[in-house]
């Protein structure tokens, strides 16, 4: 194998695929990075037991030549040292060659490195998913739905299914839901085409996979193809292929957690509320759940407070757009509230309460494609 390639373009692809490589793998060959040179360009692959990422660099794109010379072949290179060598190469282009003895030579300017490679024949075969259950989404929309939900997945392995985001297609909508059993985040969008072969409820993608996918996707309105089988999901663009395992187990039925009626409704400015909650949390950090308290007043104001016996207390009155219904005193995690408000992306929010010890929901006032649910904390 031989290739002379643009260093920055190669580095961009390396950064994508190394997100899937772990040194702690049970399959030693997977701690390496696979390079496959073919006539049309080079494909880099990184994989672990959970995700596989393939990134393709074409000979040229939009008139920009990335590869000056190419001879077909494959090699596995060390995923720790190879990226560092490319990153610190002195020139804009690098020449990579491998020989019959699996020795890899990397040249750039006057610098020359020799690495021991590994046999590509030992690398597991990565097959493209073949399925009828596939659909397309704009990349910006997918990234947004991930951002609006993935933060609410559980970080505890006691219930592994909750470490993932549940994806469903029903009622003409695509729905993302995540919960750690103390809070819930849901995002939904209308599906352009209704399809009947979507696996109903068991598509649960590890939160870690979605975080990595979101990082490597550019903010663009181009479409991404999503394909699903019984145990895997693939995301594919023109030059990127991202494959993740799905989580086993039954995802809990979350729709029954969402209250259907409310006793107190507050309309508030998102930014002002976020800043007030953030300030109250300053003195709540040392107590167990960053707990703060919200109390409604009669004059269209709410009081947000927090009390830490060792440190002190904070109280702030905030004027809101409106308060309807019963008076309310409720305590909850400031962290959960901050996380929920941060992803709202609308000027105003509507918060619906059904009592001091019942879950409450936060929605944008402009649309109903987003919902956050938080469980209160008993403080009295």
Domain positions in the chain are 2-122, 134-255, 258-374
Q: Say which CATH topology domain 134-255 has.
A: DNA Polymerase III; Chain A, domain 2 (3.10.150)
- pLDDT tens column, 231-269: 899 999 999 999 999 999 999 999 888 999 999 999 999
Closest CA to 273 of 215, 225, 314, 334: 334
Q: How many CB atoms lie within 10 A of CB 150?
A: 24
The pLDDT, as a whole number, for residue 195 is 64
Q: Say which CATH topology domain 258-374 has.
A: Proliferating Cell Nuclear Antigen (3.70.10)
The pLDDT, as a whole number, for residue 118 is 97
Closest CA to 268 of 294, 240, 235, 238: 294
Q: With 60 as the cut, is the pLDDT of residue 320 above it?
A: yes
pLDDT, the chain, mean: 93
The counts of H helices and E strands in the chain are 6, 28
The pLDDT, as a whole number, for residue 289 is 66
Structure tokens at 228: 């699903």
- pLDDT tens column, 126-167: 888 888 788 889 999 999 999 999 999 999 989 999 999 999
Structure tokens at 340: 């929920």
Same fold, 134-255 and 258-374: no
The pLDDT, as a whole number, for residue 194 is 66
Residue 369 to residue 380: CA distance in whole angstroms: 35
- pLDDT tens column, 285-306: 766 668 999 999 988 999 999 9
Residue 274 to residue 204: CA distance in whole angstroms: 30
Q: Of all residues in the chain, what percent carry a pLDDT higher than 70?
A: 97
Q: With 80 as the cut, is the pLDDT of residue 21 above it?
A: yes
Closest CA to 178 of 201, 142, 152, 213: 152
Q: CATH classification of 2-122 is 3.10.150.10, yes or no?
A: yes
Q: Of all residues in the chain, what percent carry a pLDDT higher than 90?
A: 79
The pLDDT, as a whole number, for residue 311 is 85
Closest CA to 129 of 228, 212, 209, 45: 228
- When pLDDT is averaged across residues 21-42 and rounded to a whole number, the result is 93
Distance of CA 326 to the CA centre of its chain: 38
The pLDDT, as a whole number, for residue 201 is 61
Q: What DSSP string describes 10-45?
A: HHHHHHHHGGG--TT-SSGGGGEEEEEEETTEEEEE
With a CB cutoff of 8 Å and minimum separation 6, the contacts of 20 are 46, 47, 48, 51, 52, 53, 212
The pLDDT, as a whole number, for residue 27 is 87
Q: With 60 as the cut, is the pLDDT of residue 284 above it?
A: yes
Q: How far is residue 338 from each of residues 88, 120, 170, 242, 308, measured CA to CA in Å? A: 40, 48, 30, 31, 19
Q: With 60 as the cut, is the pLDDT of residue 380 above it?
A: no
Residues in the chain: 380
- When pLDDT is averaged across residues 271-296 and rounded to a whole number, the result is 89
- pLDDT tens column, 161-201: 999 999 998 888 899 999 999 999 999 998 877 666 677 66
The pLDDT, as a whole number, for residue 157 is 87
Give the model's confidence band at 66: pLDDT under 50 very low, under 70 low, under 90 confident, else very high: very high
With a CB cutoff of 8 Å and minimum separation 6, the contacts of 127 are none
Q: How many CB atoms lie within 10 A of CB 99?
A: 13
Q: Which range has the worst mean pLDDT, 18-27, 56-65, 311-320?
A: 18-27
- pLDDT tens column, 332-371: 999 999 999 999 989 999 999 999 999 999 999 999 899 9
């Amino acid at each position: 194998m031989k290739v002379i390639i643009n260093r920055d373009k190669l580095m961009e692809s390396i950064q994508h695929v190394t997100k899937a490589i772990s040194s702690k793998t049970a399959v030693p060959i997977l701690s390496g990075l696979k390079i496959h040179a073919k006539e049309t360009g080079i494909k880099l692959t990184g994989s672990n037991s959970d995700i596989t990422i393939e990134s393709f660099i074409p000979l040229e794109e939009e008139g920009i030549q990335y590869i000056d010379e190419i001879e077909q072949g494959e090699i596995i290179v060390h995923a720790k040292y190879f990226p560092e060598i490319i990153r610190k190469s002195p020139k804009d282009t690098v020449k990579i060659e491998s020989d019959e003895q699996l020795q890899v030579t990397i040249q750039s300017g006057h610098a020359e490195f020799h690495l021991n490679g590994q046999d590509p024949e030992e690398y597991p075969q990565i097959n493209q998913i073949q399925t009828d259950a596939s659909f397309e989404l704009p990349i910006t929309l997918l990234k947004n739905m991930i951002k609006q939900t993935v933060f609410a997945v559980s970080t505890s392995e006691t219930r592994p299914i909750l470490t993932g985001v549940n994806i469903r297609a029903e009622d003409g909508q695509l729905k993302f839901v995540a919960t750690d059993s103390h809070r819930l985040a849901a995002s939904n969008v209308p599906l352009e085409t209704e399809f009947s072969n979507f696996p109903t409820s068991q598509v649960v993608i590890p939160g870690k996979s979605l975080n990595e996918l979101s990082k490597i996707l550019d903010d663009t309105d181009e479409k991404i193809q999503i394909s699903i089988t019984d145990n895997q999901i693939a995301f594919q663009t023109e030059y990127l292929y991202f494959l993740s395992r799905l989580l086993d187990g039954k995802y809990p039925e979350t729709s029954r957690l969402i209250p259907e009626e409310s006793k107190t409704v507050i309309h508030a400015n998102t930014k002002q509320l976020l800043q007030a909650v953030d300030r109250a949390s300053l003195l709540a950090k040392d107590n167990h759940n960053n707990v703060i308290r919200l109390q409604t007043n009669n004059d269209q104001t709410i009081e947000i407070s927090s009390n830490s016996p060792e440190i002190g207390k904070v109280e702030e009155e905030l004027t809101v757009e409106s308060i309807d219904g019963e008076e309310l005193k409720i305590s909850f995690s400031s962290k959960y509230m901050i996380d929920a408000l941060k992803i709202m992306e609308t000027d105003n929010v509507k918060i619906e309460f059904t009592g001091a010890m019942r879950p409450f929901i936060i929605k944008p006032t402009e649309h109903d494609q987003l919902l956050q649910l938080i469980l209160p904390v008993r403080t009295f």
